[in-house]
Amino acid sequence: MRFINIAGEIDNIVAFIKKQLHDAGFEKIIVGLSGGVDSAVTAALSVRTVGRENVSALLLPYTHSSQDSLEDAAGLAQKLKIQYEIINISPVVDAYFDNYGKEADSLRRGNLMARVRMCVLYDFSAKYKALVAGTGNRSELLTGYCTQYGDSACAFEPLGHLYKTEVTALARALDIPAAIIKKPPTADLWLHQTDEDELGMSYAELDEILHQLVDLEKSAAEIQNSGIEPGRIERVVNLMKNSEFKRHLPPIPSLYENLQ
């Protein structure tokens, strides 16, 4: 796995956030706190950049969301001394599916939850005149492990260049509570859901495969020589390929030119 200078990377991200705010003409940041490590690191870095008085957080649970995660998110907001509000998204999500999708499976319901959360964040973005800070990491973005126009929607992605394992290293340096760092990563979109179960491997293994594929530009055959199971490499390659559309703005056609 690649080496990063943790202290230098924290300074780098702080400078990045400052530039995004300056270029957009904003002074404040709003972030969705899930109780997970990515949003915790994003919030902590935001406070380090603009001060606690300029950072707001929203906690957006659904009916079956983890109570422990909600408490962890609230505890982090209190530790950072930032303004936060809890808004239950259940009435909005349930109203839609009760009327138009009673047969909907967990994927559809989870996707709507993610998009409702982002709608609420953007409404509060207008209310507070604050930019929405993304909480996605490089591992999620490269594999498409995010909801398009849901948790992938934001004004900027301060952690988008860091793999999940690297974000965890930053969390330790930023004194994020151990309960947040140690819990199994989850999008918390349905009961007992975890990221690594859905991905089919641990983040440590995923990050190593991604690093070799993307950063070192190794072929699948070359990666196999390092002892990684071929089926896992193929799975990661397919995840990247099948999610390519999520990493680009919607395509538009070129202007037709009559060359005659």
Residue 155 confidence class, pLDDT cut points 50, 70, 90? very high
Average pLDDT, the chain: 95
Please provide residue 156's backbone torsions phi and psi, each rounded to the nearest 5 degrees.
Answer: -160, 155
pLDDT at 213: 97
Residues 6 or more apart whose CB falls under 8 angstroms from that of 61 comprise 70, 86, 88, 89, 90
**Out of 75-79, 100-104, 137-141, 188-192, least confident range:** 188-192
pTM (whole model) above 0.85 = yes
Rounded CA-CA distance 208/203 in Å is: 8
Looking at domain 6-193, what is its CATH homologous superfamily? Answer: HUPs (3.40.50.620)
User: Could you give the percent of the chain with pLDDT greater than 70?
Assistant: 99
Q: What is the pLDDT of residues 28-68, one digit of tens each?
A: 999 999 999 999 999 999 999 999 999 999 999 999 899 99
Domain segments of the chain: what residues? 6-193
Q: What is the pLDDT of residues 112-150, one digit of tens each?
A: 999 999 999 999 999 999 999 999 999 999 999 999 999
For the beta carbon of residue 237, count every other beta carbon within 10 angstroms. Answer: 14
Residues 6 or more apart whose CB falls under 8 angstroms from that of 167 comprise 37, 38, 41, 137, 159
Question: How much is the average pLDDT of 153-160?
Answer: 97
Question: How much is the average pLDDT of 173-186?
Answer: 94
Residue type, 197: D
- 196: part of which helix (H) or strand (E)? helix 195-199
pLDDT at 260: 58
pLDDT at 157: 98
Tokens of 140: 């999620």
pLDDT at 226: 87
pLDDT at 100: 97
Residues 6 or more apart whose CB falls under 8 angstroms from that of 237 comprise 213, 220
Bridge-based pairing state of the strands 28-32 and 55-59: parallel
Please state, in angstroms and as integers, the Cα–Cα distance from residue 191 to each residue in 59, 84, 98, 106, 188, following that order.
18, 25, 19, 10, 7
